[in-house]
């Protein structure tokens, strides 16, 4: 069953299905183009996101925004959200139970946006979408196709801020996303099957 954006946002705002809601100041559902071709999924809101109610607006968000610009897009062209919609205390990694509690919302967002490409930013998003066996160091940079959607796992921008050496491989992943988006658009124009 597909819900409307209005109902989904209302359900997320009023959710208290896991303990994260009690510790955050506001819910951060996600933002961007509701019918975007590319969807970015991160881990969870941090302090700045919790304050402003918007995803990826702190330092890691600035870097993500720069990388989106570098592949020729604006934030308003894509859809950006997180595995969990409420800030984990002290920015800890959300537990598997918390991610599972929020998974229905993420799935509903994917069902509404219907992206052609999903970029998984970091381990939490990777495990959420691809399963517990996911390892970002091993699995990043490799396309996975699921039900016609192309999935690219890569590092979370906050990991790039901690370790400069990860910037180059992450940039390679973003260029692969740019090239796939172009190829898919060209395939649509030419009426060909997706590459
Ligand atoms: Fe609900 Fe997700 Fe917030 Fe947990 S993190 S309370 S499941 S919206």
What pLDDT score was predicted for residue 2? 66
**Ligand 1: does its nearest atom lie under 6 Å from the Cβ of 84?**
yes
Quote the pLDDT of residue 19: 98
The pLDDT value recorded for residue 189 is: 77
Q: Work out whether strand 79-82 and strand 31-32 pair parallel, antiparallel, or are unpaired.
A: antiparallel
The preferred substitution site among 8, 10, 18 for testing ligand 1, maximizing ligand atoms within 8 Å of CB, is: 18
Q: How far is the CA of 119 from the centre of ligand 1 (A)?
A: 21
84: exposed, middle or buried (C-beta count within 10 Å: 0-12, 13-18, 19+)?
buried
| Token output for 14 | 């009023």
Q: Is 20 in the pocket of ligand 1 (CB under 6 A)?
A: yes
**Which atom of ligand 1 lies closest to the CA of 18?**
4
Ligand 1 centroid, distance to 66 Cα (angstroms): 28
Per-residue pLDDT of the chain (195 residues; tens, 9 = 90+): 668 999 999 999 999 999 999 999 999 999 999 999 999 999 999 999 999 999 999 999 999 999 999 999 999 999 999 999 999 999 999 999 999 999 999 999 999 999 999 999 999 999 999 999 999 999 999 999 999 999 999 999 999 999 999 999 999 999 999 999 999 999 877 765 544
Quickly count: other Cβ atoms within 10 Å of residue 170's Cβ.
20
- pLDDT score of 192: 57
Q: What is the dihedral of CA 131, 139, 55, 182, to 10 degrees?
A: -120
What is the reported pLDDT for 195? 46
pLDDT the model gives residue 1: 60
Q: What is the pLDDT of residues 88-116, one digit of tens each?
A: 999 999 999 999 999 999 999 999 999 99
Q: For the chain, how are helix, strand and coil distributed in percent, rounded to 5? A: 50, 15, 35
* pLDDT value for 182: 96
Distance from the alpha carbon of residue 166 to the mean position of ligand 1, in angstroms: 30
pLDDT at position 194 is 47
Atom of ligand 1 nearest to the CA of 44: 5
b/e burial code for range 30-65 (CB count within 10 A of at least 16 → b): bbbbeebbbbbbbbbbbebbbeeebbbbbebbebbb
| Adjacent-strand bridge partners of 42 | 82
Please tell me the predicted confidence (pLDDT) of residue 6.
97
């Amino acid at each position: 069953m597909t819900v409307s954006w209005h109902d989904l946002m209302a359900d997320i705002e009023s959710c208290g299905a896991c303990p994260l809601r009690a510790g955050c100041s506001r819910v951060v559902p996600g933002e961007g183009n509701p019918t975007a071709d590319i969807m970015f999924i991160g881990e969870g809101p941090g302090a700045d996101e919790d304050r402003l109610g918007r995803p990826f607006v702190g330092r890691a968000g600035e870097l993500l925004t720069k990388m989106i610009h570098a592949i020729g897009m604006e934030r308003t062209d894509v859809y950006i959200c997180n595995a969990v919609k409420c800030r984990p205390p002290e920015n800890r990694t959300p537990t598997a139970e918390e991610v599972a509690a929020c998974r229905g919302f993420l799935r509903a967002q994917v069902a509404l946006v219907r992206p052609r490409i999903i970029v998984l930013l970091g381990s939490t998003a990777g495990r959420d979408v691809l399963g517990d066996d996911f390892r970002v160091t091993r699995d990043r940079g490799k396309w996975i196709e699921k039900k016609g959607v192309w999935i690219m796992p890569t590092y979370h921008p906050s990991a790039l801020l901690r370790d400069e050496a990860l910037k180059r491989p992450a940039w390679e992943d973003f260029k692969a996303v740019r090239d796939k988006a172009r190829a898919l658009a060209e395939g649509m124009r030419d009426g060909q099957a997706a590459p």
